Every structure is written in C-alpha cells, then in structure tokens.
C-alpha cells in the first residue's frame, strides 16, 4: 500500500476528485487541510523542489488576494512570493499529492497517478 499525503481543500471539487482517485487506488492517505493547518516556509520550499516549480507557478493567480497584495509584480523575489503563500495559504494551488518522495498537482486529478 502506497503512503500518500494530499494537500487538500474539501471545498474544492478538484481536490475532492483527487482524494476520491487516491481512495480508489487503496492508498494510505494523510490529509493535510492546509487552510486549517498552513504550511511553513520549509514545507513550501520542499514542495517547490519536488514539483520543479517556482513559487509564482504554485500560486492561484486568480485569487483576489493575489491582486490585492500586488503579487503579479515581477520584481518580487522568490523569497517574497514564498512568504506570501505562508501568510495567505489560500494562494497555494491545490490539490498537491506527495508520494514516493515526489509531488504532483491534481489538475486534472489524473496527474497524480504518475507518482504513485
């Protein structure tokens, strides 16, 4: 049985679909509700490394908070963008599944199958 973690928002349909997909695969699942228990800086940095993405690529750019905080500013550093995700967890793209020391974003949900 594969042990997986899902960075999950139960109100998000893609997150729920990804969780259902993992349940169908008989995975042992640790659910991390990141809005209730926000990730810290090192956890986000670890995600970025495993995903091979920049902080901006991991952000939900259509969120009001993204615009209100001026995060589209290209002069912002990676460090500043990571801190914005720490301070405003809603900005984190979701769902993210971690398994076998790899990570994948469940958009679409089937993306996560590659790391199981």
From 12, 32, 51, 115, active-site residue: 12
Known catalytic residue: 27?
A: no
Neighbours of 26 (CB within 10 A): 9
- Residues with a catalytic annotation lie at 12
């Amino acid at each position: 049985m594969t042990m997986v973690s899902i960075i999950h928002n139960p109100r998000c349909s893609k997150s729920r679909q990804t969780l259902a997909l993992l349940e169908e695969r008989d995975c042992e699942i640790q659910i991390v509700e990141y809005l209730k228990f926000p990730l810290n800086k090192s956890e986000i940095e670890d995600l970025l490394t495993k995903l091979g993405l920049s902080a901006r690529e991991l952000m939900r750019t259509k969120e009001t908070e993204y615009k209100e905080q001026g995060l589209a500013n290209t002069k912002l550093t990676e460090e500043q963008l990571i801190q914005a995700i720490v301070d405003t967890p809603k900005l984190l793209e979701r769902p993210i599944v971690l398994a076998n020391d790899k990570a994948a974003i469940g958009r679409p949900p089937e993306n996560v199958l590659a790391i199981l």
